[in-house]
Chain A
Amino acid sequence: MRHKLGARAGTAVAATVLVLGGILAGTGNAWADQDLPSCLDHTWSGPDGYIAIRASPDGRLAWTAKDYTDNDGVWNVYIYVNKTLFDAKLKYAYNPHGSIPPSYAKKGSIVSFVADHVDSKGHASHNVPNGCIVP
């Protein structure tokens, strides 16, 4: 999947920004942690899609990623808690979603995402920096 994205970029098919994500996962760092929003209910929107996260009353964090126009193709999403990989949804043929149990997303933890998507027409998208603080 990542090779496909790289090859596509090499043939001048531009990768566009899908959503926010990644700075806390080690792909660059433009924000300080204190600038991050709460994970209570937040959506990182981009020109092609979004990642959203919401906390339930019992502390579970539910998240989803979505392309505005085409959710088919291939998705890869990595979910980090405090910069350590917690979960992954790899080579999904539809837009993935998931959750983080409260015992693994304690108050003050930082949750972030790295995502990429190649839609059914071969259009590649990826995340931009994101992250949120567990309330």
Chain B
Amino acid sequence: MCPMAASSRDLAAALAERLNEVAPAGVTVRATGTEVEVIQDGRVVGGSSAAVSLDMDGEGLPEERIGSIAAAVISGVQDEITEALTEPWPARNGRMVNPDTRQTGAVTEMWFGDVDNPVLRLRPITVVWPGEPAA
């Protein structure tokens, strides 16, 4: 697990990279600045701007928000991919499964479906905050 610095751009990049690793054929996921974008046929079809909230004041401690931001991003990407494919993604028995995240210290886990039996699991993200040594 390669730790990333705690910035909204780095977070967007890390999330896009992990989502792109599992994206279905015909769809790619990329980061542009703090945006995580879903691309189909060379066109941005949607995504999430949630990573920008890491830089916003008054939203609680940034280090406590990575899990929530990750959930918003993977949920948004799931919506867009499902719409692009015109079928649920990822799915179990033909039904779309919900995204979820769990943040434990510096590590954020992300998956779709039940935590004990997920349909899809993303590579976790490890965030290094300023002043902390890299893991």
Q: Which residue of A lies closest to B95 (CB)?
A: A58
A9 within 8 A of B: no
User: Residues of B within 8 Å of A, CB-based: how many?
Assistant: 23
A69 within 8 A of B: no
Interface residues in B60-98 by Cβ distance below 8 A to A read 60, 68, 71-73, 75-76, 78-79, 98
A58 proximity list for chain B (CB < 8 A): 98
B79 proximity list for chain A (CB < 8 A): 62, 97-99
Complex alpha-carbon distance, A97 and B82, angstroms: 13
B53 proximity list for chain A (CB < 8 A): 85, 88
B124 within 8 A of A: no
Contact of A87 (CB < 8 Å), options: B58, B75, B101: B75
B134 within 8 A of A: no
A98 proximity list for chain B (CB < 8 A): 48, 75-76, 79
B76 proximity list for chain A (CB < 8 A): 87, 89, 98-99
Complex alpha-carbon distance, A92 and B35, angstroms: 11
A88 proximity list for chain B (CB < 8 A): 48-50, 52-53
User: Residues of A within 8 Å of B, CB-based: how many?
Assistant: 24
Q: Mark B120-135, 1 if CB is under 8 A from A, else 0.
A: 0000000000000000
A91 proximity list for chain B (CB < 8 A): 49
Contact of A85 (CB < 8 Å), options: B59, B99, B100, B101: B59
Could you tell me the distance in whole angstroms from the C-beta of B67 to the nearest C-beta in chain A?
9
* Binding stretch for chain B, among A44-52, A100-108, A116-124: A100-108
A interface list, Cβ under 8 A from B: 26, 58-60, 62, 79, 84-92, 96-104
B interface list, Cβ under 8 A from A: 35, 46, 48-50, 52-53, 56, 58-60, 68, 71-73, 75-76, 78-79, 98-101
